[in-house]
Structures are given as structure tokens and as C-alpha cells.
Amino acid sequence: QDDLVDQLRAVPPSQRALVTCEGAFSYLARDTGLTEKYIWPVNAEQQATPQQIASTIDFVAENTVPAVFCESTVSDAPMQRVVEATGARYGGTLYVDSLSAADGPVPTYLELIRHDADTIAARVPSRESCSSVIAPGKRAVTAVESTGIRAGCPEASCTARTTLSPSTTTQIDSS
């Protein structure tokens, strides 16, 4: 367990945000020093009101969150709206309380925890490989944006939106 916690604690402090569809990862956020943001609370009667989606979009944009996630037990459609509105990357599916078949990605509870920790840590860029600043309200647009990949970034987790320096920018888009 300690190695899993250490893996998530290694995420640079400025990138320690865990944005999910459902607020099911409070324990993980607390134990690893991640700031938690979710669209709706656990076991909510209603999922994804326009206000909840707008609040999540604001959080992701204001904090330049590189990747967002959704749980396997709910639709990822609301989070895809956040992705479209912010340019953040969809980091993948996290498992909360349901295991997969024996030959699936999370056949045991321990594999579930490992999968989620690996998925989160792999989608957040390291400070060394992705560390430039773009002025607030601006978005860098370059040739790498079509692939979403920047050299030196783990698991293609760095997008042009959050990583490019002015010398590699071909145009600035205020949209």
C-alpha cells in the first residue's frame, strides 16, 4: 500500500488534482494529498446538473488540470463535456466498487487499487517534462495538438494546452 501512496504523492504539488465524475475518491485524495473535485457526490439521486458541470469546467480551467477521470459505474458523458470545454485529457476509467471478470483489468480489490493509482499517476505530467506557463485565458495551438503528445511526457499525458513554451507555439488562440 505504501508504494501506491508514494506513487501518487510523487505527483508535483501544482498538479495534485483528482477530478472525477462521482465523489468516490475522498479517501484516496486525503491519503495522497490530492485536491478532489467531482461533478456530483457519491450516490446522488441526480447526476450532472448544468451547474455541477460548469463548476467542474471552471475548476479544471482555473487549475490547468491536465487529465480528468470517470468511474466505471457511471456514464462518462458529463466528463466528456468537461474535456471538450477545457481541453483537458480524458485520463481513463477508475474503478470504485465493482470488480471486473477474472480476465479483466481489476479482478481483485488489490488490482482495483493498483489500477486506479497507476491510471491517475500515469496521466499527470511530471514537472520536469511538462513545465511551461501559458498566459491565463490563452491556449497554445501547435502541430503536436493533433496528436495530443509532447515528447518527454509520460503516457501522452501532456497536451499542447498545458505544456508548450512560446518558442514552440505557432499561434495563440483565445477561444
pLDDT, greater one: 121 or 1: 121
pLDDT, greater one: 151 or 10: 10
51-60, 101-110, 159-168: the lowest-pLDDT one: 159-168
* pLDDT score at 125: 59
Q: Name the band, by pLDDT with cuts 50, 70 and 90, for residue 137.
A: very low
Q: Name the band, by pLDDT with cuts 50, 70 and 90, for residue 84.
A: very high
Mean pLDDT of 152-174: 33
pLDDT at 144 over 60: no
* pLDDT score at 3: 73
pLDDT at 103 over 50: yes
How far is Cα 8 from Cα 52, in angstroms, rounded to an integer?
Answer: 26
* pLDDT score at 15: 74
pLDDT digits (tens, 9 = 90+) for 9-54: 777 777 789 999 999 999 888 888 889 999 999 878 778 999 999 9
Q: Which of 43, 3, 5, 1 is nearest to 21 (CA)?
A: 43
Q: How many CB atoms lie within 10 A of CB 175?
A: 6
The CA-CA-CA angle for residues 97, 102, 103, to 5°, reads 115
Mean pLDDT of 126-139: 37
C-alpha dihedral (70, 119, 110, 112), degrees to nearest 10: 30
pLDDT digits (tens, 9 = 90+) for 5-19: 777 777 777 778 999
Query: What is this structure's pTM?
Result: 0.69
Q: Name the band, by pLDDT with cuts 50, 70 and 90, for residue 166.
A: very low
